[in-house]
Amino acid sequence: MKAMVLDHVGDMAGSPLQLRDIPMPLPGSGDVLVKVHVCAVCRTDLHVIEGELADVKRPLVPGHQVVGTVTQVGAGVTEVHEGDRVGIAWLQGTCGICEFCRSERENLCLKARFTGYQVDGGYAEYAVVPARFAYPIPSGFTDDEAAPLLCAGIIGYRALRLSGIKPGQRLGLYGFGASAHIAIQIARHWGCQVYVSSLKAEHQALARELGAVWVGGAQDAPPDLLHASIIFAPAGELVSPALRALERGGTLALAGIHMSPIPSLDYDRELFGERILRSVTANTRQDGIDLLREAAAIPIKPRTVRFPLREANQALQALKAGSFQGAAVLTI
């Protein structure tokens, strides 16, 4: 099968992914084989490919926002069938027995495995996933629309939950890429007022189009104090101004898997008043199930830009440059 393969981590400017023919994976007991239709491109893919995350499997097929059709099921699989359209997301395996797995916090499992990082992912014609980590895709979404929901959507949804935002309250979003452009649609559906800070003029324009009540530059102070905020951009320097923009008792959630160093904080100006600073770490399967259900009910309409599989390097370079709105989707 054809796949984009990473042999050595490196800067995206060097186009480190190579199109190659590799053996088709085979489903083991409890697994399903998926013929990939599309795979959305994620900023986490950049962190993996450029070596900002440790212990990357090599050689590696990246990609963890996969939509495709099940073509083969392994022994013992009863809940997924051949012909089902399913999604493969970031979380692909947990131990199931640790304190985190037993307390509905499987996202914190120390033995968790992740798609397109420790396990080959969806920048390929076929991919394998444990059946219990294959998400049924609601019929109302096209493949292109469904793909970015599987990470950008899920992580944005978990970040909204952990921020504690309530209907009618003021929410801040810092950075307005794939995840934020989905999160704003959910927040608006909940009746929240959304304030967006973003570096790119085209991203600011999309935020206005999607209903932001205020849009400013990357570090501009919003005109009102916010009840909760989410930082999607991997920029540690945004933490201080985002905390200063919070109402007393507000929460700032950091949604990225990687962030540049956070400068020292001024306790009186930025944390005092029971402001909360917390990270968002991966997701549980229930997050994914809940997000897909709510996204279908709203319905969420992700904005996507198509690239053929062979242009995965160019898609990632465009993502790094912030040169498109919404999410990039590789067509297989």
Q: pLDDT digit string (tens) for 288-306? A: 999 999 999 999 999 999 9
Compute the distance between CA of residue 129 and CA of residue 93 in angstroms, rounded to an integer.
Answer: 9
SS3 62: coil
The predicted model gives 284-288 an average pLDDT of: 97
- Residue-wise pLDDT for 32-52, tens only, equals 999 999 999 999 999 999 999
321 class by beta-carbon count within 10 Å (0-12 exposed, 13-18 middle, 19+ buried): exposed
The predicted model gives 129-137 an average pLDDT of: 98
Question: Which residues 6+ apart lie within 8 Å of 258 measured at CB?
Answer: 44, 47, 52, 53, 234
Nearest to 168 by CA among 143, 147, 194: 194
DSSP 101-124: GGGT-GGG-TT-EEBTTTB--SSB
Residue in the structure block whose two tokens are 């012909």: 83
Compute the distance between CA of residue 203 and CA of residue 323 in angstroms, rounded to an integer.
Answer: 9
SS3 229: strand
Q: Whats the size of the chain, residue-wise?
A: 332
- Residue-wise pLDDT for 166-210, tens only, equals 999 999 999 999 999 999 999 999 999 999 999 999 999 999 999
Question: Which residues 6+ apart lie within 8 Å of 19 measured at CB?
Answer: 2, 3, 4, 5, 309, 310
Kindly indicate the confidence band of residue 23, based on its pLDDT and cuts at 50, 70 and 90: very high
> What is the helix (H) or strand (E) element at residue 183, kind and residue range?
helix 178-189
- Residue-wise pLDDT for 250-283, tens only, equals 999 999 999 999 999 999 999 999 999 999 999 9
CB 286 within 8 A of CB 292: no
Compute the distance between CA of residue 154 and CA of residue 61 in angstroms, rounded to an integer.
Answer: 21
219 has pLDDT over 90? no
Instruction: State which amino acid sits at residue 85.
Output: R
Residue in the structure block whose two tokens are 């998926």: 34
157 class by beta-carbon count within 10 Å (0-12 exposed, 13-18 middle, 19+ buried): buried
Nearest to 134 by CA among 54, 64, 52: 64
Parallel/antiparallel/unpaired status of strands 66-73 and 170-174:
unpaired
pLDDT of 48 reads 97
Task: Give the single-character DSSP code of 264.
Answer: P
Domain 153-279 adopts which CATH fold? Rossmann fold (3.40.50)
- Beta-carbon neighbour count of residue 160 at 10 Å? 25
Sign of CA dihedral 327, 181, 128, 38: negative
The predicted model gives 148-165 an average pLDDT of: 97
- Residue-wise pLDDT for 236-249, tens only, equals 999 999 999 999 99
CATH 3.30.1330.10 fits 2-151+301-331, yes or no: no
**What's the first-to-final CA gap in the chain, in angstroms?**
11
Parallel/antiparallel/unpaired status of strands 31-40 and 17-21:
unpaired
CB 283 within 8 A of CB 155: yes
- Beta-carbon neighbour count of residue 60 at 10 Å? 23
Nearest to 87 by CA among 156, 29, 34: 34
pLDDT of 218 reads 81
Nearest to 251 by CA among 225, 275, 226: 275
CB 255 within 8 A of CB 155: yes
Kindly indicate the confidence band of residue 307, based on its pLDDT and cuts at 50, 70 and 90: very high
Q: Give me the residue spans of the domains in the chain.
A: 2-151+301-331, 153-279
